[in-house]
Amino acid sequence: MSEKFPNVSRSVLAAAVSMAVLGGCAASDYQRPTIERAGAGDGRIVFAADVFRGAAPERVTFTDIWQREEYALFLGGGAQAEIVYSTTTTPVFTVVLEYQLMIDDMVETWNLNRKHAKAWDESRKVEAPLGPFFYKPYRLVGADRACFGFATEWDHRGDDPDNRPSKVLFGYFCATKGAPLSLDRMEDLIQTIGVRGITERIRHADAARQGGAARAANVRTQANATLTARGPSPSADRGNASFPFDLAQFFTEGGEGDMTK
Domain that holds residue 162: 33-259
Mean pLDDT of 186-210: 76
Q: How confident is the model at residue 165 (pLDDT cuts 50, 70, 90)?
A: very high
Q: Taking a C-beta distance cutoff of 8 angstroms, is the pair 215, 181 a contact?
A: no
For 80, 110, 143, 227, the CA distances from 233, given in Å and listed in that order, are: 18, 11, 18, 8
Whether 16 maps to a domain, the answer reads no
Highest mean pLDDT among 2-11, 215-224, 252-261: 252-261
Sequence-distant (6+) residues with CB within 8 A of 37 are 58, 59, 60, 61, 218, 221, 222, 224, 225, 228
Per-residue model confidence (pLDDT) at position 94: 87
Per-residue model confidence (pLDDT) at position 172: 98
230-247 pLDDT, tens digit per residue, is 998 888 999 999 999 999
Strand partners, 36: 61
Using DSSP's 3-state secondary structure scheme, residue 227 falls into helix
Whether 13 maps to a domain, the answer reads no
Measured over the CA atoms of residue 72, residue 93, residue 130 and residue 199, the dihedral's sign is positive
Mean pLDDT of 115-119: 96
Judged against a pLDDT cut of 80, whether residue 28 lies above it is answered with: no
Q: What average pLDDT does the structure give for the chain?
A: 82
Whether 227 maps to a domain, the answer reads yes
Q: Cis ω on the peptide bond leading into residue 129 (within 30° of 0)?
A: no
Whether 151 maps to a domain, the answer reads yes
Q: What share of the chain is helix, strand, coil (3-state, %, to 5)?
A: 25, 35, 45
How many structural domains does the chain have? 1
Q: How confident is the model at residue 220 (pLDDT cuts 50, 70, 90)?
A: very low
Q: Kindly report the number of other CB atoms within 10 A of residue 108's CB atom.
A: 13
Give the long-range contacts of residues 108-111, CB within 8 A, separation 24 or more: 109/240, 109/241, 109/242, 110/82, 110/171, 110/172, 110/239, 110/240, 111/231, 111/233, 111/234, 111/235, 111/236, 111/237, 111/238, 111/239, 111/240, 111/241
Mean pLDDT of 79-86: 98
Whether 66 maps to a domain, the answer reads yes
Whether 116 maps to a domain, the answer reads yes
Using DSSP's 3-state secondary structure scheme, residue 241 falls into coil
- CA atoms lying within 13 Å on the CB side of residue 113: 29
Q: How confident is the model at residue 256 (pLDDT cuts 50, 70, 90)?
A: low
Judged against a pLDDT cut of 80, whether residue 219 lies above it is answered with: no
DSSP 255: S
Q: How far apart are CA 115 and CA 101, in angstroms?
A: 19
Q: Whole-model pTM?
A: 0.82
Q: How far apart are CA 85 and CA 169, in angstroms?
A: 4
Using DSSP's 3-state secondary structure scheme, residue 217 falls into helix
Sequence-distant (6+) residues with CB within 8 A of 197 are 44
Q: How far apart are CA 14 and CA 211, in angstroms?
A: 29
Per-residue model confidence (pLDDT) at position 91: 64
121-152 pLDDT, tens digit per residue, is 999 999 999 999 999 999 999 999 999 999 99
Q: How far apart are CA 245 and CA 194, in angstroms?
A: 20
39-49 pLDDT, tens digit per residue, is 778 899 999 99
Whether 22 maps to a domain, the answer reads no
Per-residue model confidence (pLDDT) at position 254: 62
The secondary structure of 19-31 as a DSSP string is HHHHTSPPP-GGG
Whether 2 maps to a domain, the answer reads no
